[in-house]
Structure 1
Amino acid sequence: MTAEWWRDAVIYQIYPRSFADSNGDGYGDLPGAIEKLPYLSELGVDAIWLSPIYTSPMADAGYDVADYENVDAMFGNIADADALITAAHGLGIKVILDLVPNHTSDEHRWFQAAIAAEPGSPERDYYLFRDGLGEDGSLRPNNWTSVFGGKGWTRLTRPDGTPEQWYLHLFDVKQPDLDWSSEKVREGFDDILRFWLDKGVDGFRIDVAHSLVKADGLPDWDHEAALLSGETGPMWDQDGVHDVYRRWRRILDGYEGDRSLVAEAWVADPTRLANYLRPDEMHTAFNFEFLDSRWNAKAYRDVITKTMAADRAVGAPTTWVLSNHDVVRHVSRFGLQDPGASHEGLGQRDEQPDNEIGTRRARAATLMMLALPGSAYLYQGEELGLPEHTTLDDSLRQDPTWFRSEFTRVGRDGCRIPMPWNADAPGLGFSPNGETWLPQPESYRDLAADQQMATPGSTWRLYHDALAMRKDLGLGRGTLEWVEGPDALVAFDNGDVRVMTNVLGEPIALPEGYRVIASSVDLDGDVLPTDTTVWLTPVR
């Protein structure tokens, strides 16, 4: 990788509890991840992003952090984190950690000190405490709701039962929101950044990066606080967040090695999202509008055009992504009757996707994505073509969304199922004794890594070969020029490579004077079948 590696890197997201378990407790851990680093090196990724590994009571799978400078015992210890960073770097793989700055766990020392102190005390400056409305303060300070469902405020109670102030939690009740107008909070996170940068991490993925700063006065908002909607409300995408990221950028720029920040910012307007990518702020931001697109050629042409233009205006690359730990896996999204229609979990009572059709479309979408200029993120298991677990028994669900929505939204467990490594091993090789914190569907057996790695035409081989060619051909550093064609065709040139994706259309003739160097399916003749992507180069 050259300087500014983040401009064209392919980053692989590890969801640690579901990646690889080394000790048989059924939960993935850092030693397990270290063992699998050679697999990722062979796949051809440039970096890994680890979802939170910090000390946590796990009310929200580690996104409720009790200690940002330690590792939860579920995953190992701080020495394991050091070993993982060293091992990854030894293989030429960068390491990005997940940083959760909107909220902490209610077990964090800052919150424990705050609730032990009196209203108005300095300890309460860290969080958004407010007096209630009404004569006795029994009414919520405003009408905000939680992303996970239910109210966004909880009232404290003294040990003697006397009701007290309220605190804001845009997520679970055990995830109190920090007050980013407090210099104490800002200094605290300066220290957290430096702690991990000193250990050699190459960057941070910033959780809900658009939510840190709330509108003055916390005004009512007559909408649900839906994280993935991209709406702008008093808790989302306030201009004050940019002061935080300029401060962080100065810290990262003080370290050697070109450290980077990537924003998880669900901001629908590409020009607003590009504000996070100005030269003195973050380096990249997930293109969630691309992830959210229906399986529709015009939708793809439009989103690629406008997002790349907005990012180019601030000198930033576009960061492509199709799946992550919060959305339905794209194999299953694309297998719905309205392909790509759902990014929230699917359960037994929902439409069941056709994963055979979804796999075909997912492979085509992946080959299209990997040919686009910019960086790309892969979610663990997508290189195996894993579908969503849509028939998980409700009694096994652990996502707080399921509980806080009063069992009306199944949540995200279905995309977080433990990885299948070995088809013939207990637990499909996820753990040494077969233990898995969530059960794997039977469909994962034939998709196990050991079944695919040596099989020509497998989804794993598609990813492996595409990543190698992407690097060899410099596609991540290339330029995009649209190619005219039928309405169902997404076609562009990136340097000498012509990329053609047939989205739901009739077969399309391949251009003369080109040879196919990659295809999402085996071709039969000189036509591009429906739901297929090809890469072509001129015949010299």
Structure 2
Amino acid sequence: MPSTDAWWRDAVIYQIYPRSFADANGDGMGDLPGITTRLPRLRELGIDAVWLSPFYVSPQHDAGYDVADYRDVDPRFGSLGDADKLIATAHDHGLKVIVDLVPNHTSSEHAWFRAALAAPPGSPERERYIFRDGAEPPNSWQSVFGGSAWQRTDDGQWYLHLFDVSQPDLNWDHPEVRAEFLDILRFWLDRGVDGFRVDVAHGLIKDADLTDWTQPSVVLGGLDPVGPPPPMWDQEGVHEIYREWRTVLDGYSPARILVAEAWVQPEERLARYVRPDEMHQAFNFPYLEAPWLPAELRAVIDSSLAATGAVGATTTWVLSNHDVVRHASRLGFPAETGRKPGIGIGDPQPDTGLGLRRARAASLLMLGLPGSAYLYQGEELGLPEHTTLADEVREDPAWERSGHTERGRDGCRVPIPWEADAPSYGFGPGDDSWLPQPAIWAEYALDRQIGVAGSTWELYRSALAARREHDLGNGALVWSATEGDVLAFRNGEILVLTNFGQEAAELPSGARVLLSSEPLDGDGRVPTDVTVWAAV
């Protein structure tokens, strides 16, 4: 019988990007033993679970999202024994462990794809992927990373790769592909993982006719919220796959979960991924993308709660991850500024002070909402994007495939700082880090924030403790009447108020302030770009 322990519904889940979190052996690359040594700090912070980006065997053409072996750990990150120790240690600290699963594509170095290239056209080996004949590419689909989504083989066929050329798309209409991933699920469930974050969950099934599509293939947003989905995204057949996966997970106790990375619009379509017999959660990207404007944020909060509530699911909230500019930098631009595909030398630079001020306010606002929250490593330090990373060290395939028009995601993936005066800021025992860290990292290092009143780390720690104490994750939102550019709601006995305006905002008479993202004015009013939690 499936477990009824719905721990995920109010959980705060912390994303770890393994290559950039902690390096135990000094080779400049983060690893699983490094993560294990830092788990006590995460428990102290007050999170409930960790989500690990891929650590599988991979040539690392796309930072591990090109998987060559789903059942083993890449030697860069350690071994299966290290994974087992990490899972056991996390559980000892009361933390759940969620791992990334990448089912849309494999690496071109996966044994299946090597066999496909060695076999002739029409062979069973090629049926596991999407191969087609023709003198020209089968259609005009574009790769997410730029250029054609079709690559020609030496024998004249074409294979589909919606991402990098080294990431051939699997054929999810093939029963062998479906059986393989059911076995992969069981492999990691049997090792004790508590769930899976499913990469590109909306992309597994393609339109059977490979209908032409002339618009760019943008996975991170960009879908028309009104018209039909593109022929490569959000096809009906994905839901059958996740119903089958859910049956597997429901056979395990304690409860294990599936989390969808699905860039789908509108929220009602996203909610279809979290119906009772499919996934448990889906990332709330409309919230992540909402501008720093009260009306827009209120609208997306309302639509998110309504959509997930209609199917009995919990709502998730997220501000940063490994694919987007960190919100401490993103919010340092004018509120109406749209998505930025990376920031580099020569680009308009954010206002660092404004960005951090708004980031702290945004984080406190998010953590006051009912549902589950996702944090990205380093945001609890107020870490900004590395916006002056040299172009010659960039590794994101988007940089090359876009013809150097999109700087990509490396800026949010730079190894994080633990100790201000240590080599590599405490990331590892030596100076090496796979991406260079900026000198400003010292001022954000954890050892300069622990125990320091008003630091971002202490703000997060206090917020997570208060969130748990007042059971805000399981609460209900009731909007409060406000004037001007103020957003305020009650969650149980807690008032959450954010002031977006230029004039200081009043708190209700008798309100007792529990937390504030910045100090209040001398008369107790809330300054601009500040969020307050108050007991009322």
| Counterpart for residue 17 of structure 1 | 19
Specify which of 178, 187, 192 is matched with residue 186 of structure 1.
178
Q: For each residue in 1:374-431, what CA deviation from the matched residue of structure 2 results, as whole angstroms up to 9, or x when unmatched?
A: 0000000000000000100111101000011111110000000101000011110111
Report if aligned partners of 2:484, 2:501 keep a CA contact under 8 Å in 1.
no
Q: Aligned equivalents of 1:490 and 1:222: distance in 2?
A: 40
Structure 2 unaligned blocks of 5 or more: 224-228
Give the counterpart of 1:282 among 261, 279, 283. Answer: 279
Instruction: Give the equivalent residue in structure 1 for 2:442.
Output: 445
Give 1:344 deviation, angstroms. Answer: 2.1
Residue 408 (structure 1) aligned with residue 410 (structure 2): no
1:92 paired residue number:
94
Q: Distance in 2 between matches of 1:288 and 1:230?
A: 11
Shift of 1:103: 0.2
Please report how far the alpha carbon of residue 526 of structure 1 lies from its aligned counterpart in structure 2 after TM superposition: 2.1
Q: Match of 2:304, as an amino acid? A: T
Q: CA deviation at 1:3?
A: 2.0
Corresponding residue of 1:32: 34
- Matched residues in 2 for 1:225 and 1:290: separation? 22
Deviant stretches of 4+, over 6 Å: none
Matched, 1:317 2:314: yes
Residue identity matched to 2:366: M
C-alpha distance in structure 2 between counterparts of 1:454 and 1:178, whole Å: 49
Find out whether 1:520 has 2:496 as its counterpart. no
Structure 1 position 350 matched with structure 2 position 381: no
Which residue in the other structure is 1:537 paired with? Answer: 535
Question: In structure 2, what residue type is equivalent to 1:480?
Answer: L
Q: Look up the equivalent residue of 2:107 and give its one-letter code.
A: S
Partner in structure 2 of residue 46 of structure 1: 48
CA deviation vs aligned residue, 1:242-264 (integer Å, no higher than 9, x gap)? 00100000000011111001100
SS in 2 for 1:3: coil
Q: 1:465 aligns with which of 449, 452, 462?
A: 462
Q: Which amino acid is the alignment partner of residue 399 of structure 2?
A: W
Cα distance in 1 for residues equivalent to 2:400 and 2:383: 26
- Helix, strand or coil: the match of 1:115? helix
Q: In 2, distance between residues paired with 1:15 and 1:340?
A: 27
User: Of the candidates 267, 270, 273, which is equivalent to residue 270 of structure 1?
Assistant: 267
Most deviating of 344-353 and 409-418: 344-353
2:7 equivalent among 5, 19, 41: 5
Does the 8 Å contact 1:297/1:487 carry over to 2?
Answer: no
1:376 matches 2:362: no
Report the equivalent of 1:397.
Answer: 394
Residue identity matched to 2:37: E
> Do structure 1's residue 260 and structure 2's residue 257 form an aligned pair?
yes
Which residue of structure 2 lines up, in the alignment, with residue 166 of structure 1? 158
CA distance in 2, matches of 1:237, 1:503: 35
The separation in 2 between residues aligned to 1:84 and 1:75, in whole angstroms, is 12
Q: Report the alpha carbon displacement of residue 339 of structure 1 after superposing the two structures with TM.
A: 5.6
Cα distance in 1 for partners of 2:503, 2:29 equals 46
Q: Aligned partners of 1:339 and 1:379: how far apart in 2?
A: 23
**Aligned equivalent of 1:242:** 239
TM-score (norm 2): 0.97
Distance 1:413 1:182 in 2: 35
2:65 to 44, 49, 63: 63
CA distance in 2: counterparts of 1:121 and 1:438, whole angstroms: 42
> Structure 1 pair 339/46, CA: closer, same or farther in 2 (3 Å)?
farther
In the other structure, the counterpart of 2:226 is none
Task: For structure 1, list consecutive stretches of 5 or more residues without a partner in the other structure.
Answer: 158-162
| 8 Å CA contact 1:519, 1:534 repeated in 2 | yes
Aligned to 1:177: 169
Cα distance in structure 2, aligned partners of 1:441 and 1:308: 39
CA deviation map 1:24-55 (0-9, x unaligned): 10000000000000010000000000000100
Distance 1:316 1:218 in 2: 33
Tell whether the 8 Å contact from 2:250 to 2:256 is kept in structure 1 after alignment: yes
CA drift of 1:340 comes to 5.7
**Match of 2:373, SS?**
strand
Partner of 1:160: none
Deviations 1:449-482 (Å, cap 9, x if unpaired)?
0000121100000000000000010000000011
Q: Contact 1:208–1:265 (CA<8 Å) still a contact in 2?
A: yes
SS class of match (1:442) = coil
TM-score by structure 1 length? Answer: 0.97
Structure 2 counterpart of 1:155:
152
Is the Cα contact below 8 Å between 2:293 and 2:335 reproduced in 1? no
**Residue 495 in structure 1 maps to residue 497 in structure 2:** no
> Structure 1: which amino acid aligns with 2:451?
A
1:97-145 Cα offsets, whole Å, 9 max, x none, are: 000000000010111111111111111111011112xxxx2x1000000
* C-alpha distance in 2 between matches for 1:278 and 1:514: 39
Q: Which residue of 2 aligns with 1:332?
A: 329
* 2:284/2:317 contact within 8 Å kept: yes
- Paired with 1:278 and 1:379, the residues of 2 have a C-alpha distance of 26
Task: Decide whether aligned partners of structure 1 residues 338 and 490 sit closer, same or farther in structure 2, where only a CA change above 3 A counts.
Answer: closer
For the residues of structure 1 that align with 2:440 and 2:501, how far apart are their CA atoms? 26
Q: Classify the secondary structure of the residue corresponding to 1:414.
A: helix
> Of 414, 417, 432, which aligns to 1:435?
432
Aligned to 1:210: 202
How far does residue 342 in structure 1 lie from its aligned partner after superposition?
Answer: 2.6
Q: What is the distance in 1 between the residues matched to 2:193 and 2:423?
A: 34
- The whole-number CA distance in structure 1 between the counterparts of 2:445 and 2:14 is 18
Give the aligned partner of residue 420 of structure 2. 423
CA distance in 2, matches of 1:339, 1:442: 30
Deviation at 1:504, TM superposition (A): 3.5
Q: Distance in 1 between matches of 2:113 and 2:174?
A: 14
Matched, 1:109 2:111: yes
Residues 25 and 427 (structure 1), Cα distance of their counterparts in 2 relative to 1, 3 Å cut: same
Distance in 2, matches of 1:87 and 1:247, equals 30
- Deviation readout 1:296-347 (Å, 9 max, x if unpaired): 0000000000111000000001010000000000000000134663342111
Name the residue aligned to 2:481.
484
Q: Percent identity?
A: 60
State the shift of 1:277 in Å: 0.5
Q: Deviations over 1:352-392 (max 9, x none)?
A: 00110000000000000000000000000000000000100
